[in-house]
A and B are shown apart, each in its own frame.
Chain A
């Protein structure tokens, strides 16, 4: 916030600069997001991948300004369409939510009000941003429900959330998020609660709608398959930090961080011959209160001995290796590439 007003507005639609969101707790400071920077243009999709506790959801809530007024300590800059949001007043950010930016939450059952009809909830959001009569807003709600593929939208608009199936609820949630044509849409685990066939429908729907509105989309998920389907760029988070950032091709075909290798190797794949064994990452994700010193990944990293003793003493920098591909690792670039090409890749492709 100290430098917030000084630096010039960026050219990208959304830009995060060194965003930090820390929560003071009785046990210590939880550094949920610790120095995150990225850019996103309209019409593009960014996938944020990470395990539970990596800070990916806190990031999204932070962009929406939902940590304002709480106990969170937020610093850094969030630029949305030429406007800085970290220093903005909560009331002002509130007016942006819904119209400028909107969010699709993971669990549609707990993020919709069980007491009001689905239609009433969409109408409410719409009327906050548009000065229209209830009848017009209702018509818009029916229109939106139809757009996301809910059958008989004129009847279902009066249903309660519990009367919808999981897939329909998620559609209603998407309809609600899109009702004011947001320019930035954040989807936090949009399909995790859904079955695969419904997941496929929802992913297609999100792609279609994004094309139609030309909005910027952030997809937060732990499912690398979903990320590969949707994203232009991918950001891998670990322990509150970005550890690798690049185009979808960079991350899937030329990953350079041992954690990204671990994620790819942990996942059984349908498109390849089954390997005899999965290649898991040993250990468990770190607690954000007590992030390991040096590289946060070092206790789980099989290559920690190759860093020349820097693994536990020095936090690695996020450096560019080639063409916008950023990696946070102590190992030299040539060594990382050699390990990927000669060790990891052949193993994942099943010998």
Chain B
């Protein structure tokens, strides 16, 4: 949570961007029959663009199936993107071969959700945390053991537990082991996929604080993927809200949480239970109908229109672009909420779009 000074200004091609993602897509083919004929595709990620600046934390938030985890895995190149571009420090890494990507793995590391399945039960903690050194052939000054013990100490574990196995640790401690492993090679960027959702409440807070401390100490850049809006608000500088494979709103933390513009963001926030018994009576909750539609066959145009209470005819025919409606606040909606925050030129443009869609200009003969 350092470098908060440069909040705002979410231009797509900001020069200091460490990671830049442009129109990223990932379609999983759906096959049928003996010949594996492709009959369709799950559009898990369908045109996502964002930048991550050095030293900041970007939160990706959304419900299950919105493509947030897939986005995280595409960025770390654990999956091959179907389309779009990924730039890391200005280099195109979209389709880099495995042998070329390996040196890059030092710079981009990942923290996984489930601390029970992401650590090899047959390896000692020393072997797990030391693995990056071995794989990358990195020589450490005083030997791997010393380096591993320093890492364990850094994440708040006892360095003497070097020879223990993962099952001897609790969930929170295992997550710390996972974090120590990602830190081994001093990465520049860490993608964390639901880093605290498998942990108990009191342990969640410990890990969140640890992530923040490490960022301040080591100057890390984070992309945090999570479904918990309150954790995301606590930890992020900027937040992207995803729905069915697309970003519907991207803004700095303050802008997003204080004046959310996309109806979906509003619905998400009003759905979060508030730990305050006095508030339950006078609260007006936006009740969304039904479930998230299948990404196999997403609704046309604006994907949220099937559940949106503001949807009109244009939402079913014209896809709203992700446009900067207020400084540093990108929204993909024809009828944004908190309209008073929308800048005048942006408002005029939205109105023009709606107008064009309702009354298409006759072609000039």
A residues adjacent to B (C-beta < 8 A): 51-52, 151, 165-168, 195-201, 203-204, 222-229, 231, 248-249, 252, 262-271, 274, 277-282, 284-285
Interchain CB contact under 8 A, A196 and B268: yes
Interchain CB contact under 8 A, A270 and B291: no
Interchain CB contact under 8 A, A280 and B63: no
Question: B343 near A: Cβ within 8 Å?
Answer: no
A280-B202, A284-B172 known; A271 and B271 CB under 8 Å? no
- Chain B residues whose C-beta falls within 8 Å of the C-beta of A252 in the assembled complex: 275-277
Which of B172, B173, B276, B280 gathers most chain A CB within 10 Å? B276
Q: Residue on B with the closest CB to A221?
A: B273
B residues adjacent to A (C-beta < 8 A): 63-64, 170-173, 200-206, 208-209, 212, 227, 229-231, 233-234, 253, 257, 267-280, 285, 287-288, 290-292
A196-B227, A263-B201 known; A249 and B277 CB under 8 Å? yes
Q: Residue on A with the closest CB to B274?
A: A271
A196-B229, A197-B267, A201-B288 known; A265 and B275 CB under 8 Å? no
A204-B287, A278-B234 known; A225 and B229 CB under 8 Å? no
Which of A203, A248, A263 interacts with B202 by CB under 8 Å? A263
Interface contact tally, CB-CB below 8 A = 129
- Chain B residues whose C-beta falls within 8 Å of the C-beta of A228 in the assembled complex: 273-277, 279-280
Q: Residue on A with the closest CB to B169?
A: A284
Interchain CB contact under 8 A, A268 and B234: yes
Interchain CB contact under 8 A, B205 and A223: no
Interchain CB contact under 8 A, A196 and B279: no
Bound-state CA distance A265–B275 (Å) is 11
A165-B291, A280-B206 known; A270 and B277 CB under 8 Å? no
Which of B63, B230, B273 interacts with A268 by CB under 8 Å? B230
- 6 pairs, A vs B, C-beta closer than 8 Å: A196-B227, A197-B271, A264-B275, A265-B205, A266-B204, A285-B170
Interchain CB contact under 8 A, B229 and A52: no
Interchain CB contact under 8 A, A195 and B201: no
- Chain B residues whose C-beta falls within 8 Å of the C-beta of A279 in the assembled complex: 205
Interchain CB contact under 8 A, B272 and A222: no
Interchain CB contact under 8 A, A226 and B202: no
- Chain B residues whose C-beta falls within 8 Å of the C-beta of A223 in the assembled complex: 201, 273
Interchain CB contact under 8 A, B205 and A278: yes
Q: Residue on A with the closest CB to B254?
A: A274
- Chain B residues whose C-beta falls within 8 Å of the C-beta of A277 in the assembled complex: 209, 212
- Chain A residues whose C-beta falls within 8 Å of the C-beta of B274 in the assembled complex: 225, 228-229, 269-271
Interchain CB contact under 8 A, B202 and A274: no
Bound-state CA distance A198–B285 (Å) is 12
Interchain CB contact under 8 A, B273 and A229: yes
Interchain CB contact under 8 A, B200 and A285: yes
Bound-state CA distance A167–B63 (Å) is 12
- Chain A residues whose C-beta falls within 8 Å of the C-beta of B234 in the assembled complex: 268, 274, 278
Interchain CB contact under 8 A, A270 and B63: no
Bound-state CA distance A223–B228 (Å) is 12
Which of A168, A198, A266, A270 interacts with B205 by CB under 8 Å? A266
- Chain B residues whose C-beta falls within 8 Å of the C-beta of A225 in the assembled complex: 272-275
Min CB distance A214 to B, Å, is 19
Min CB distance A269 to B, Å, is 6
Which of B257, B275, B290, B291 interacts with A227 by CB under 8 Å? B275
A225-B272, A270-B229 known; A196 and B63 CB under 8 Å? yes
Interchain CB contact under 8 A, B273 and A222: no
Min CB distance A274 to B, Å, is 6
Which of B202, B209, B290 interacts with A262 by CB under 8 Å? B202
